[in-house]
Amino acid sequence: MQLLIPTNWDWNLIAPLSEIRADIEIYGVLPTSILGSGGAGPDIPQVTAEQAEEYIKLAHSAGLTFNYLLNAPSMGNMEWEEDTHAELLKHLEWLSNAGVDHVTVAIPYLTELIKSQFPHLKVEVST
């Protein structure tokens, strides 16, 4: 059985989740990012990039995987602008270095970009 669990970035939830006999994937997003997500931004707990990296490491040490949401429905074609494209690549590199296992995307171009530049990241398509 696979369980997909949204994160509230609470470190105390990792240990109990690791005790469940299932394939568990935690998913979430930072409160602010170049892309955002399909979720409600103001309701996402305030977490720094460094705190997120440590959280992902803790999840991995407990046998859990992490899926980062990049599922905003549109970037208003800003992904084609040079500065925004560079910032997008920087964000994807951070996700890669942070140890994210999967990313969920809604913009087809992002799938192409991730698969060509970060082939080790598994891409899920947002529905």
Q: Is residue 121 part of a domain?
A: yes
Is 8 inside a domain boundary? Answer: yes
Let me know if residue 16 belongs to a domain: yes
Number of domains the chain contains: 1
Is the pLDDT reported for residue 25 higher than 90? yes
Tell me, what CATH number does 97's domain have? 3.20.20.60
Q: What angle (nearest 5°) sits at the alpha carbon of residue 59, between those of residues 85 and 109?
A: 20
Tell me the pLDDT tens digit for each residue of 81-104. Answer: 889 889 999 999 999 999 999 999
Predicted confidence at residue 20, as pLDDT, reads 93
- pTM reported for the whole predicted model: 0.90
Does residue 38 sit within a domain?
no
- What average pLDDT does the structure give for the chain? 90
Domain limits at 14?
2-31+44-68+90-125
Token output for 114: 């991730």
Q: Confirm if 125 and 111 have CB atoms less than 8 A apart.
A: yes
Residue 36, in any domain of the structure: no
Residue 82 falls inside a structural domain: no
